Amino acid sequence: MSRPVLAACLCAMLSACTTRPPQTVPLPPSPPSGEPSSLIGASVTDLRGRFGTPAFVRKENGAEMWRYDGAGCHAFFFLYSQDGAEIVRHVETIPRGSASAADTRCLSALRRPIS
């Protein structure tokens, strides 16, 4: 096969790849508004005292996300710096709550027993 024919074949294959419409994935619906008031503003010490050591921690751009895993649910705590201390500013669970982003049954199931 000559070079011009090979180049034409390659161009045809590449152009066939770019003519497909882009696939889009719809965003999931946003969670219901509202936060569990007993957890908003909680410090790192408070959070560890209530739930223990998180299963996963992610730090990014001055924020932290702590994840706790249970048998039937997961909780996500989003902490931001305020006056030099990290505090909880947002809480979500999977599954979500019926009236807010955090299901109180999930949070209760994940709490450490009081000793």
Asked whether residue 7 is domain-assigned, the answer is: no
Q: How far apart are CA 113 and CA 108, in angstroms?
A: 10
pTM of the model as a whole: 0.71
Asked whether residue 29 is domain-assigned, the answer is: no
Tokens of 30: 């946003």
Q: What's the domain range around 63?
A: 34-115
Overall domain count for the chain: 1
Asked whether residue 86 is domain-assigned, the answer is: yes
Percentage of residues in the chain with pLDDT exceeding 90?
Answer: 56
The band of 15, judged by pLDDT with boundaries at 50, 70 and 90, is low
Asked whether residue 15 is domain-assigned, the answer is: no
Asked whether residue 25 is domain-assigned, the answer is: no
Q: What is the DSSP secondary structure assignment for residue 11, as one 8-state letter?
A: H
Asked whether residue 12 is domain-assigned, the answer is: no
Backbone angles phi, psi at 14, to 5 degrees: -65, -40
Give the tens place of pLDDT for each residue, 27-59.
777 767 777 889 999 999 999 999 999 999 999
Asked whether residue 20 is domain-assigned, the answer is: no
Asked whether residue 96 is domain-assigned, the answer is: yes
